[in-house]
Amino acid sequence: MTDTSSSAAESLHLKFCGLSLTSPIVLLSGCVGFGEEYTRIEGFSNRDAGAVVLKGTTLAARLGNPAHRVSETAAGMLNAIGLQNPGTAHVIERILPELDFSETRFIANVSGSTVEEYAEVTRLFDDSPIDAIEINISCPNVKEGGVAFGNYPDMSAQVVEACRRVTGKPLITKLSPNQTDIRENARRCIEAGTDGLAVINTVMGMAIDANTRRPVIGNIQGGLSGPAIKPIALLKVHQVYEVARKHGIPIIGQGGITTATDAIEFLIAGASAVGIGTALFYDPMVCRRVNAGIAQYLREHGIASVTELTGTLRI
């Protein structure tokens, strides 16, 4: 490796919630399975990402939603997988031992239908090699008629508090855009003990087959991701950063990132790291291009480290 390439690589290093990341890129939950799916693609390496978030995991195994689960849309896609997963015990006992923790950081994604389930899954992951835990608070609360935990600050805070009590690992709370005031939710999650925030989760939407007059997605509604939601995600990162910076809480900015320029915009808006998900489905090697583009931008603007870009929006 030349001095130039070595310097470029070092410029991408950062600390996130106490974890050392070799790149600001985080591979998002549900897009790389349990960290092994893309290793079958020639040339792909988990080393191209600073961290990998594993597929959403519940206490017991789940089969997920009925088909169809995925539908392409203009500039994005809808998905309603329904948290299909083999359960926490299987992930810890069978999957984690197969992951190469020398390649990158691995983050568990914890999901549940009750506060108690979130806490139990978090407790089990606390006694595992996992590097950090992401809390998916967009799940429906079965005790409250199916309303999503993440759309109400009080319920979001309850989940974070419960998880905080049972783990010393870094906690990252994934915030939903499908709520009235994301800033208030962020504030409550920070007060409840989260170490970081992931902004944003998918935007709810639907698709209709005009010929059959039926919903395309078996679950009727699904989460919209991809470039279509990028402007929404950028605004939400900017809004949450106003709250998070006061408490020193870092943000993973995510939603429609497909290029280095996209990633740079999220960093400027207030993100410390950036999440890539939908782009991986049609360009598995996107991370290398994004890393190279960020490094080039830093060189051209005389910026020594990617961390210096965070929150530099000029208003």
Which residues are catalytic, by number? Answer: 139
What are the angstrom distances between the C-alpha of 207 and each of 20, 73, 219, 227, 255?
Answer: 41, 8, 11, 17, 19
C-alpha dihedral, 127 to 249 to 59 to 70, nearest 10°: -130
What are the angstrom distances between the C-alpha of 164 and each of 18, 58, 70, 245?
Answer: 16, 17, 33, 21
Give the CA radius of gyration of the chain: 19
Helix or strand or coil: residue 108? strand
In angstroms, the CA 147 to CA 140 distance is 5
Residue among 19, 101, 85 at smallest CA distance from 272? 19
| Triad 227, 230, 232: Cα angle to 5° | 140
In angstroms, the CA 219 to CA 81 distance is 9
